[in-house]
Chain A
Amino acid sequence: NAGVTQTPKFRVLKTGQSMTLLCAQDMNHEYMYWYRQDPGMGLRLIHYSVGEGTTAKGEVPDGYNVSRLKKQNFLLGLESAAPSQTSVYFCASSPTGRNTIYFGEGSWLTVV
């Protein structure tokens, strides 16, 4: 029972490099989310999706892009990484917006 799986778990990037974080869920959930967590800031929503083929901006979308081509996958892209994007990234999913949220274990990203 995998639940929500994030890859990679750890990554170090150089400023200006690009990368994609993959989130996969096997629960057939409609809603998926990407959050970042920084010390003293709690979790802040980057982007979210309410179904396959849909995406929407959250609180802190700048510098990130997302895609939801398949219902089970939600990709978070950094086109040109900046040190300010050093953070822990969490993916989550839920059956609907008004329901239990399931989190992945996090992806630690460092941009140098």
Chain B
Amino acid sequence: AQSVTQPDIHITVSEGASLELRCNYSYGATPYLFWYVQSPGQGLQLLLKYFSGDTLVQGIKGFEAEFKRSQSSFNLRKPSVHWSDAAEYFCIPSGNTPLVFGKGTRLSVIA
């Protein structure tokens, strides 16, 4: 069965600091991998996705993620965090079985 782990439940960073959100997956084959963001009171928005090819993926809002097969990881990064990035972030592997969500990582941004 597929599963995803986001080890950090809550992260606080200062505005302008760099960010890395961790995601580890367990899957029989290489899954398609997604990062979604959910701002307070909003639905989920796709940040970026990895299907195949270049393992460094660029997304919206200045985010990027790197797929590392050897580590079964797909960590999300941003070089300089903005206050508007405060939200819940979900890493999702997509396979042929129903989508499994981790509990997400809540990002707080302080001045």
Contact, CB under 8 Å: A104 / B98: no
Size of chain B's interface in residues, with CB distance under 8 A? 23
Partner of A33, one of B32, B42, B45, B99: B99
Which residues of the other chain, A, contact B43 by a CB distance below 8 angstroms? 90, 103-106
Q: Is the CB of A45 within 8 A of B99?
A: yes
Contact B103 A105 (CB under 8 A): no
**Distance (whole angstroms) from the CB of B41 to the closest CB of chain A:** 8
Main SS at interface, chain B: loop
Return the chain B residue nearest A105 by Cβ: B43
Contact yes or no, B95 A98, CB < 8 A: yes
Report the Cα distance A42→B95, complex, angstroms.
19
Contact A58:B98 (CB < 8 A) given known A98-B32, A100-B34, A104-B43: yes
Q: Which residue of A is nearest B46, CB measured?
A: A100
Report B-chain residues with C-beta under 8 Å of the C-beta of A58: 98
Q: CB distance B96 to A98 under 8 Å?
A: yes
Task: Let me know if A40 and B95 touch, CB within 8 A.
Answer: no
Q: Determine if A44 is an interface residue (Cβ-Cβ < 8 Å).
A: yes
**Binary flags per residue of A60-104, CB closer than 8 Å to B gives 1, else 0:** 000000000000000000000000000000101010011111011
Q: How far is the CA of A40 from the CA of B46 in the complex (A)?
A: 21
Chain A CB within 10 A, most for which of B44, B49, B97: B44
List A contacts of B46 (CB < 8 A).
Answer: 100-101
Enumerate chain B interface residues (CB-CB to A < 8 A).
31-32, 34, 36, 42-46, 49, 90, 92, 94-104
